[in-house]
Structures are given as structure tokens and as C-alpha cells.
Amino acid sequence: MLLRHPSFPRLWSVWLMANVCMWMSDVAAAWLMTSLTDSKLMVAMIQTCTTLPVFLLALPGGAIADIVDRRSGFLAAQCWTALAAAILAAAAWQGALSAPLLLVLTFAASMATALRWPVYSAIVPEVVTAEALPTAIVLNGMAVNASRVLGPLLAGAIIAWLGGAWVFALTAALSLASAAMLWRWRYEPQTPPSSTGSLGAAMTQGIAFARQSRPLQAVLAWSVGYFMSATALVALLPLIARAHDADGAGGARIYAVLFACLGCGAIGVGFMLHVFRRRWSEHGVIVAGSVLLALCIACMALSRHAWLSAAVMLVAGAAWLAVGNTLSIAAQFALPPQLRARGMSLFLMAVMAGGAGGAALFGAAADWLGLRPALFALSATGIALCVLLGRRYRI
């Protein structure tokens, strides 16, 4: 069905490439941080620095996407990613990276996501029909998770073979290649740019809609709670890999495999989501996936073997896609076309707010209490949030 929309395969390819670059850079930055400092908090702060800029800048990015040409916004995001990655590569090659500088540069590189994600979310409904939109969103989620497999595996191999700087160099090259694909694309917008006027007025209009929309409020609340747990688990993965690496020789490979298993689990469940939706309501999928993720986190705390942790991450990945995709579809259908980028930017802000807070909070907990107690605390928090949100917000 989606092959009838000639623009979608090109857009999907760029989206996949952009996410491969994002995950490669995240893995390289997190692993480099473990070699720069012994602080568990600083390692977890890499994840905070990849999510916090999106939280801070997503709404302006969404407003921009609604009032300017969306292809130009997507193109600008890819060029910014290429520039930030090139600076990271140069700093790593020169031996100039310190822990604080790595955090700053990671923050800067992640600013592109604040524009790319709402722009892409707003463009997709313009190039596919309403009937094909749920399938397109599933494929977009599968691209994110395929990149979560490919990106870490590429990054792990490159780090082991050539060093982390080359991961950032490849990210810069791929980002420029995807920018070239966008430059050659003939974009014919179906929704004209908003006539709201100023950026501030556009942002205010988006916030006002969210205040009045109970369905969107429910999606935002669940997004904060769920992704606090999910992102905190990802933030602690380098430390889990270190704990499994008894001789200190294979930690990077273990980390890449754990990350890749998360993506493999998500890809696998992507082909079955239509079955889940026939049997369960959207609310049921979200609650079941949230509980399953919390149980996976508890299993990671108990695991003493890398192979068992890898199996658990497969299940966690399945829960990740099932809940994340369901929330994304609910957000898309809660928004009018003229506010879609701003509304999806609010959804992204909720995801990133939960992620940035969870990574920082449970990274600090790992420093204070130890890794395994922090994972148990994260699991218990996930169950508690599921109970509280389930009583108040129904998707």
C-alpha cells in the first residue's frame, strides 16, 4: 500500500539513515565516557544530554515546522547533525575530549533531533493516505529500532577496530548523504504553512490546544511516565555491560549486543502489532507493555550472565515498540493537520522529559546505591507509575 506513495520510500530511507547516525553517536559517546571517568552519573548523563535538548527545543522546532517549508527544516537538521558529528570526530582525533566537553558536544549534536522529529512526523501524513498512516507509523518505529540494531553494531565494530572518532566521522558522512537525498526530493506540501505569524504565537497556539485536548493530555502523561523507565534502562546499559565484562576486554561488544537486542525485540514485535490491536485496546497495550518493561528491568538487576541480559533486552525492546508506537498513533489522531508538528513536538517533549529525568535520577541512584539497587528502584517506580497513570488517564 505504501509503495503507491512515491515520496514515502525516500523519506523512510532518510529517516532510517538519520536514526542509524543517532544511535551510532549515542553508543560511541556513552562508551567514550566510560574511558574518561569512573562516575556512573556522568555515564548516565550522556543519555540526559541526548534527550534534554529535544525537551527544551522540541516545541520551537515544531512551531517552525508548521510555519516554514518542512523539507527545508528536515534538511537543516541533517546538516546540523553532520557539523556536530564532524566537530566530535575532530576533538576525539586530537585527544581533546574531556568528560564535560563530551557532554556539551553530545548536547549540541542532539539539538538536531528537536527539529527533525516533529518535521518528519508532520510530513508523513502529507505523503500517505489516512488509511495508510498507522502502517507508516509502524514502519517508522521499525526503522528506529532497526537503526537501534544496526547503529550499535556498527559503532561497536568501529570502536573496536578504529576507535570512537571514526564513528562520529561516519555519522557526519551519512548525514550529508541523507541531506543530499532531501535536496533532490520534490516536496509538494498538502498543508500550507500556518499563517499564525510569529514563532511565539505559533507555540502559544500549540500549548493552548494541548490544554483543551483530553486525549492529547493522556498521551503526554503516559509518555513521560513510560519513557522515564525505558530511557533510564538504556542510560544504565554501559554500566551493565561493564558489570558483565569480567576481564575488561569485551565490554564494548557486550554493550553493542545488548543495545542491538533491544532493537531486534522491537522489530520482531512490529510485525505482530496488528494482532495485538485486534485483541486489546490501545490502553491495554500500553498498560501491559509498561508492566512488562518494569519486569524486564528487575530481571536485568538479577541477571549475572550477559546472554541472559541479552534475552531480557529482546523482551524489553518488544515492550518499547508496542507502547511507543501505540502512543505515537494516538497522538497523531488527536491532532488537526495545521497543528500536527506542534502537537507532535509536545509529544516528543513529553518523551524526552521523562527520558532526561529518568536517566539523571537513576544514574545518580547508581552512584549512591550501586547499579543493581538502582535497577530494582527503577523497576518499582515503573510499576507505581503504571498504577497511577492507569487510574487517571485512559488512552
Q: What is the pLDDT of residues 271-319, one digit of tens each?
A: 677 677 677 788 888 999 999 999 999 999 999 888 899 999 999 988 9
pLDDT at 363 over 90: no
The pLDDT mean for the chain works out to 83
* Domain count along the chain: 1
Whether residue 146 has pLDDT greater than 80: no
> Which tops the pLDDT comparison, 327 or 246?
327
pLDDT greater than 60 at residue 249: no
270-273, Cβ contacts within 8 angstroms, sequence gap of 24 or more:
270/138, 270/141, 270/142, 270/145, 270/321, 270/325, 273/138, 273/321, 273/322, 273/325
- 191 lies in some domain: no
The pLDDT tens digits of the residues spanning 339-348 come to 777 788 788 7
Residue 95 is classified by DSSP as T
% of the chain at pLDDT higher than 90: 19
Lowest mean pLDDT, pick from 237-246, 369-378, 381-390: 237-246
Instruction: Name the band, by pLDDT with cuts 50, 70 and 90, for residue 254.
Output: confident
Q: Sorting pLDDT into bands at 50, 70 and 90, what band is 395?
A: confident
Stretch 133-145: mean pLDDT: 76
Lowest mean pLDDT among 33-37, 95-99, 116-120, 133-137: 133-137
Note whether 360 and 48 are within 8 A (CB).
yes
Give the CATH number of the domain where residue 379 resides: 1.20.1250.20
Say what the pLDDT of residue 372 is.
92
pLDDT one-digit tens code per residue, 176-195: 999 998 888 876 665 555 55
Nearest to 228 by CA among 29, 107, 388: 388
- CA dist., res. 253 & res. 94, Å (int): 25
pLDDT at 196 over 70: no
Quick check: is 165 in a domain?
yes
More confident residue, 155 or 138: 155
- Tell me the CB-side half-sphere exposure of residue 255, using CA atoms within 13 A: 34
Instruction: Give the domain range for residue 54.
Output: 2-185+202-392
Amino acid at 291: V
pLDDT at 346: 84
- Judge whether residue 248 has pLDDT over 60: no
Distance (Å, rounded) from C-alpha 360 to C-alpha 177?
Answer: 34
User: Average pLDDT of 122-134?
Assistant: 76
Does the pLDDT at position 135 exceed 60? Answer: yes
Between the CA of residue 106 and those of 45, 228, 389, what are the distances in Å?
10, 20, 32
Which of 43-47, 61-65, 114-118 shows the lowest per-residue confidence on average (mean pLDDT)? 61-65
Confidence of residue 255 (pLDDT cuts 50, 70, 90): confident
Distance CA(178)–CA(321), nearest Å, equals 25
φ, ψ of residue 6 to 5 degrees: the values are -60, -25
Residue 193 lies in a domain: no
Cα radius of gyration (the chain):
20
Q: Is the pLDDT of residue 4 over 80?
A: no
pLDDT given for residue 377 in this prediction: 94
Give the confidence band of 210 by pLDDT, cuts at 50, 70, 90: confident
Instruction: Please check the confidence at residue 45 and state whether its pLDDT lies above 60.
Output: yes
d(CA 193, CA 187): 13
How large is the angle between the packed helices 199-212 and 214-244, nearest 10 degrees? 100
Q: What is the pLDDT of residue 297?
A: 95
Query: Which residue's entry shows cell 516536496?
Result: 187
**Could you tell me if residue 190 is inside a domain?**
no
| For residues 353-367, average pLDDT | 85
pLDDT at 188: 67
In a domain, 195, yes or no: no
What mean pLDDT do residues 230-256 have? 78
Task: Tell me if 196 is assigned to some domain.
Answer: no
Q: What percent of the chain has pLDDT over 70?
A: 90
State the pLDDT at residue 191.
58
Distance CA 165, CA 158 (A): 9
Q: How far apart are CA 351 and CA 219, in angstroms?
A: 10
Class of residue 97 by CB neighbours under 10 A (exposed 0-12, middle 13-18, buried 19+): buried
